[in-house]
Each structure stands twice: as structure tokens, then as C-alpha cells.
Amino acid sequence: MQYKPLSQADPEVHQCIVDELSRQRNGLEMIPSESYASPAVLRAMGSIFTNKYSEGYPRKRYYGGQVNTDKLETIAIERAKKIFKVDHVNVQPYSGSPANLAVYFALCKPGDTIMGMDLKQGGHLTHGCKVNFSAKYYKSVPYGVGKNGYIDFNQVRAIAKREKPKLIWAGATAYPREYDFKAFAEIAKEVGAFFAADIAHIIGLIISGVHNSPVGYADVITSTTHKTLRGPRAGMILCNGNASEPLKPTPEITKENIPTLIDKAIFPGLQGGPHEHTIAGIAVALKEAQTNEFVESNRMIIKTCKIIAEELLEDGFNLITGGTDNHLILMDVTNKNITGQEAETALEKINISVNKNAVPNDPRPPFSPSGIRLGTPCLAMRGMAEQEAKIIGKCISETLRNTNNSQIIEKNQKIVNELCLKFPIYSGREVE
């Protein structure tokens, strides 16, 4: 069979890829849930492992021809176990939401009570939002933040004691502070609940030692493998215990057999064949995560985020919690007489991508909320540091204070373009 290059086989799709490459090269991605996968990760994801069906787990497959898939998946598992110092890792979840679904499937029964941060206050859809499966199949009793924007552990404890949940989640999509996993674990223990930590956003920060880890506190840990891990769009589940026979039935749900329950939940409970080409990308990302470059980049994520926050505070912007401990900033822009949608659009004009986002107790609707969410993972991955963060902070501030001033927009667009040229990404043809 004769194969054509993509540019000839499908010019329309090829052009979409070329255009997206240009957009990423020539703009600053400041959506905190986004990152840049390395060319090595992209190459692994586009490998011939996409051809192979491999239902089951290493050395326990339902198809033949698994010598290489078994080796590959074991490499990914062992790397994750080494990095996080855990007994068991499942790298088959198709993404973060399926990983969280597997936790419910493993540890809860329909109708059980669950607790997670309210979506309107920074939480994730799968932690009990009323429009999501997690609140349709389980009784969701969300917790939130106090007036200062921080998680209110007195509230969390009071709700947990009153509702006696089966499962308590820690983790969010728009929370700019470090998570107190120990406090969550203590509350879960008090009420006899399982404690799950969703570290999708902060996994790279944890690996790099700039954010505390839930290992040793959480019964089960879920994560995406993109975001600050800089891998493919997929998921992982970490836990402790023994899963030497993951497909045998288990008589009851206990902390001792969580690995077995998780593996059974993923397959055959929720998924069929794993995406081994994506697992190849996970393996590469986990190897890269053990390098000094990865650690220093994640440290710079924190430094640059704090600097941008300081610049915005100096210019009178309202930051939720008054700043940040991690990779993201949540900002209420209504004191500048604009909406989150208007702020997102204004920054798009100077080639900075952020996302409109609700703030805690937001009186505005979801498609036109009061705030924006922005972060620095992609800036640090491009090699930007403190000096660039100050420049970017000033560009953002000036643009949002002058959204209708074409001269200021043009000036800041030029500054952003110069930064993109100075700190290029994907400079070769390896990703086209």
C-alpha cells in the first residue's frame, strides 16, 4: 500500500494543523490547564502503537501479540510508581474525567453521598456538579470557600459530619492556593469516608517539590497527564496496596483492596482496549519529568505566576484570595467595568489566550462571568522567567484597563509578538 504524506492525503486537516502551530508559536497560551507536549511525546503518541488492541493489563491480555504493549505499559507504570513512591498505578484512563468516574465506580454505589468543591467556587464538573453524572448517580453535597476565597475547612468538616459522605474529593480547576491534603484526610477519617485527591492541575508542581503531595494522605489519587506534566491528553490513577490479581472479584469495598477495585473499574468496568499510543506518550512524559529541566520549569511556573499577580494587584485588580500559591490566577475584572468575556476578548487581540471564568458566588451567568482564569505553565515552558513575567503582567493590566484603545492594543500586541519570537516553541518541522 502506498502512503501519502498528510499534506497530500488530506490537505484540509493538514492546513488546520499548520494554522494551529502558527497560532501557538505566535501567541502566549495563558490558560492554566494547557501546556506544550515535547516533540518526543508527540512522536510517541503518533506511533504505530495506535494500531494495537490490548484489552486487559500487562501479562493478562485478551488478545495476542502483546509483547511490546506489555513492555511499554509496564515502563509507564514503573516510572510513575518511582516518581510518586506508590505501590500501584493505572495508566489506562482515557482522560481525567474517566479516571474520576473509575473512582466512583470502584468505591461507591449509586445513591451514595459524595463531597467535592462546588463548580461555582472553583471545583470540577466530576466532583459533584449537578449537570454531571457525579451528581446524577450520587448524592452530591458540595463545599466551598470562605469570604477570603480559601477553602473553609470548618465548613467542610461540618458538612461531612452532617452528611456522612462515602467519598470526599480535594482538587479544583480554579483554586489559586495550595491544597491542605492533611486536613482533608483528617476530616475523611473522622467520618469514615474515602479521600480522593484530583491533582490534574498541579501534578507537575508536586513532582517538582513546589506543591505538597497527597501521597500518604489520600486513599486514591487521580490526574490528567497533560497540564503541568506536559504529556498527552490522558489520565492516571495512583494508590497503595496490592493488586497482584486485579481481575479477580473482591468481596467488599475496603482500603486494602483499592488497587484491585480501581483496575476492575477501568477494565472491564468502564473501558475496553487502552490507548497504547497515548500510554507511550505518558511514558515519555514521565521520563522527562525526572529531569532537572522539568523541575526548574515548574519552579519557574510558580515564580512567574506570583510576579504577574503582583503586577495586577499593584494596578488595582481584584485577585481571588489576594494572590496565588500555584500556577494560576483567578481575577474578578468587574471593578474595571468589564466582564470576563470582554477581558478574554481584549487579551485575544494582543495574542494572549486566557479563559473567562466564574468567581466564587458570581452573580453573572456562566457565558459572561465576572472573571478570568490565567496561568503561567506555557510561559515557563517557553523559557520565560521573572523579567518576562513583569512585562506580561504590565501588558495584561494595561490592555484590560484600556480595552477600546487601539493604540495600546497595537503596542502590547507588538510586545507579545517580540516575546514569542525571542522564546520560540516547536521551531523545527518535527510537529508539522
Helices (H) and strands (E) counted in the chain, each on its own, are 16, 15
φ, ψ of residue 224 to 5 degrees: the values are -80, 170
* Model confidence pLDDT, tens digit, residues 38-62: 999 999 999 999 999 999 999 999 9
Q: What's the pLDDT at 254?
A: 81
* Model confidence pLDDT, tens digit, residues 161-184: 999 999 999 999 999 999 999 999
Q: How confident is the model at residue 78 (pLDDT cuts 50, 70, 90)?
A: very high
Return the minimum-mean-pLDDT range out of 27-31, 218-222, 247-251, 306-310: 247-251
For range 105-122, the mean pLDDT: 96
* Model confidence pLDDT, tens digit, residues 303-349: 999 999 999 999 999 999 999 999 999 999 999 999 999 999 999 99
Mean of the per-residue pLDDT values for the chain? 95
Cell of 52: 494495537
Closest CA to 213 of 168, 173, 176, 170: 170
Closest CA to 265 of 251, 249, 244: 249
Q: What's the pLDDT at 430?
A: 61
Q: How confident is the model at residue 251 (pLDDT cuts 50, 70, 90)?
A: low
**Which residue matches cell numbers 473553609?**
152
For range 392-403, the mean pLDDT: 98
Q: For residue 431, is pLDDT > 80?
A: no
Domain ranges of the chain: 44-288, 301-422
DSSP 334-366: GGGT--HHHHHHHHHHTTEE-EEE--TT--S-T
Closest CA to 175 of 157, 193, 149: 149
The C-alpha atoms of residue 245 and residue 63 are separated, in whole angstroms, by 18
φ, ψ of residue 65 to 5 degrees: the values are 70, 40
For range 117-122, the mean pLDDT: 94
DSSP 179-229: --HHHHHHHHHHHT-EEEEE-TTTHHHHHTTSS---TTT-SEEEEESSGGG
Residues known to be catalytic: 53, 55, 198, 224, 227, 233
DSSP 266: I
Closest CA to 329 of 393, 381, 387, 388: 393
* Model confidence pLDDT, tens digit, residues 140-164: 999 999 999 999 999 999 999 999 9
Give the strand pairing for 167-170 and 194-198: parallel
Q: For residue 247, is pLDDT > 50?
A: no
Q: What is the three-class DSSP state of 84?
A: helix
* Model confidence pLDDT, tens digit, residues 269-303: 999 999 999 999 999 999 999 999 999 999 999 99
Class of the CATH domain delimited by 44-288: alpha beta
Name the architecture of domain 301-422. Alpha-Beta Complex (3.90)
Q: Which residues pair with 318 in a beta bridge?
A: 332
Q: How confident is the model at residue 253 (pLDDT cuts 50, 70, 90)?
A: confident
User: For residue 223, how far is the Cα from the chain centroid?
Assistant: 7
Q: How confident is the model at residue 245 (pLDDT cuts 50, 70, 90)?
A: low
Query: Contact, 159 vs 141, CB < 8 A?
Result: yes
Q: How confident is the model at residue 380 (pLDDT cuts 50, 70, 90)?
A: very high
SS3 content of the chain, % helix, strand, coil (to 5): 50, 10, 40
Q: What's the pLDDT at 246?
A: 47
